[in-house]
Amino acid sequence: MPTDSWVNETLYADWGQRFLVKRELARVKSGFQDIMVFESHSHGRVMLLDGVVQITETDEFVYQEMIAHVPLLAHGTARRVLIIGAGDGGVLKRVLQHRTVEKAVMVEIDGEVIRLAKEFLPGIAGDAWTDPRAEVIVGDGIDHVRQAPAESFDAIIVDSTDPIGVGEVLFTDEFYGNCARILTDRGVVVNQCGVPAMQADELRETSLRRAKSFADVSAYVAAVPTYVGGFMTLGWAAKDASLRQVPVEEIRRRAEVAGVLDTTGYWTPEIHLGAFNLPPYIARHLPRR
């Protein structure tokens, strides 16, 4: 691609964003999706899957911190963590920042995403790929969750694409039922639920599905500039409602014990608690108990 050409995101048919490309780094059609990695003028290196922004070097920390630190610190004693998707390695990195985590299993269906992230976005995962606590599997997350032993994980983090194409099967009743089965008695699962201003159906429908298997269903928000449309929601489903009610000072203590306090660019104990206080336009899409 010539220098200084534009790439348009194709998530929405009638609204979007574009990036001025400094240099194209890779364009691959895998067995699952079209993958593009390029260096932008404004946001560092960027990865697109099927024309949709997945990650940029400039603001990836917001999403990664919130999808990883919130469930682990709300739980407080999570030792074994399952990550579905997240092929760029950023979630794995944040999970392994918790020195209290003993094992992190990451299952990514598309090995090309991992390969390209390692080659062109090495700073996203850092040393996480070689951490002895990490087990990285190229495979189907649905099958892994279906076959895993009961109560084998304390937390599950689902960092998938939207519920279309390769990501669709990660938003089903069966999937959430199996998540509940393999989680311990205080287990929690989080997953991205889109930008409600544009994707309200995604939050509403997946929340109803989670509610069939979990006692406590909610969502929390993070402001990620390149996920255009306002707040990104992260779906929350836990077996124990008290996980969302941990006082801020206890969250701070847990973060210090885990080794993540004062290491973040977005997450703080106060933001952790505040992120669950949803604007009405988002909260109305959650099931009422």
Catalytic residue positions?
Answer: 159
- Assess contact for 265 and 61: CB atoms under 8 A: yes
Residue 263 CA to residue 255 CA, distance in Å, equals 10
Q: Tell me the DSSP string of 64-107.
A: HHHHHHHHHHHHS---EEEEEE-TTSHHHHHHHT-TT--EEEEE
20: helix, strand or coil: strand
Strands 18-29 and 5-8: antiparallel
The edge-to-edge listing of strands for the beta sheet with 45-49 is 5-8, 18-29, 34-40, 45-49, 52-56
- Specify whether the CB–CB gap between 205 and 217 falls below 8 A: no
Burial of 15 (0-12, 13-18, 19+ CB in 10 A): exposed
The token pair at 194 is: 């889109």
